Amino acid sequence: MQTKASGISSELRSRFASARSVLVLTGAGVSAESGVPTFRGGGHTTLWKGMPFNVLSLSRMIESDLAAVWEWFNYRRGVLQTLKPNPAHQAIANWRRRFEEFCLVTQNVDGLHHAAGSVDVIELHGNVWRGRCLQCGSRYDLRALGTREGVPSCPECGGSLRPDVVLFGEMLPLGAFEQAAAKAENCDLCFVVGTSALVYPAASLPEIASTSGAYMVEVNPERTPLSDLCHEVLCGPAGEILPLL
């Protein structure tokens, strides 16, 4: 079923009122109304200095040009620090108190769910505000460390830091996917919000929830490869739709 933003079905209202365990998977689209650019959409990919993000976000960039990776992420943090959570982030943060079990899984690295008050967020692709030492693995809050030009060094061992985000071809943080998959298997209502559902293994979480019998709801202005497995597709911006629930 495809619904316009204004109409939340009575079926969904009733499912929402009676759900015991809810899983929400978010992607870049949930932050779009805060002003964060999405990666894909409108037939193009995000470009920075003429290089598409899927080149800069390749794991081999860490070995081949760590300074360029830092330049890109410093630029992005500069943009992010001026931005605020939007009504979609806020609605999701409020949902935590409504359900016996609630799990928020995000592919976003922008930290806006935390800024809206969400806790225990499973961040599948890391966080742009953290750095990680390539040598000893220590993690640092980059706001506390302060930003510098070039590649920052680890205060513990002097090794090079990298942004603590998951690039293509890299493993997800230890246990993060497994934890999210267990929640997906047990949820009875699953929202998929603002993701193109093209990147795995994140995109397999709704598939797991669906196979386990959850009621599936997608919130996105565009259709995605997951739309056909959803019971309801709420077609529109997350910041307008989610507060209606």
Token digits of residue 208: 């797991």
Catalytic residue among 44, 113, 114, 125: 125
**Of residues 51, 157, 182, 198, which one binds Zn ion by CB under 5 A?**
157
Phi, psi of 228 (to 5 degrees): -70, -20
- Closer to Zn ion by Cβ: residue 154 or 165: 154
Q: Does 71 bind ligand BJW (CB under 6 A)?
A: no
Q: Does 220 bind ligand BJW (CB under 6 A)?
A: yes
Q: Does 156 bind Zn ion (CB under 5 A)?
A: yes
**Of residues 55, 222, 231, 235, which one binds ligand BJW by CB under 6 A?**
222
Q: Is 114 a catalytic residue?
A: no
Q: Does 118 bind ligand BJW (CB under 6 A)?
A: no
Q: Per-residue DSSP letters for 7-22?
A: ---HHHHHHHHH-SEE
Return residues touching ligand BJW (CB under 6 A): 27-29, 32-33, 38-41, 53, 57, 107, 109, 125, 165-171, 194-196, 198-201, 219-222, 224, 237-238
Catalytic annotation, residues? 125
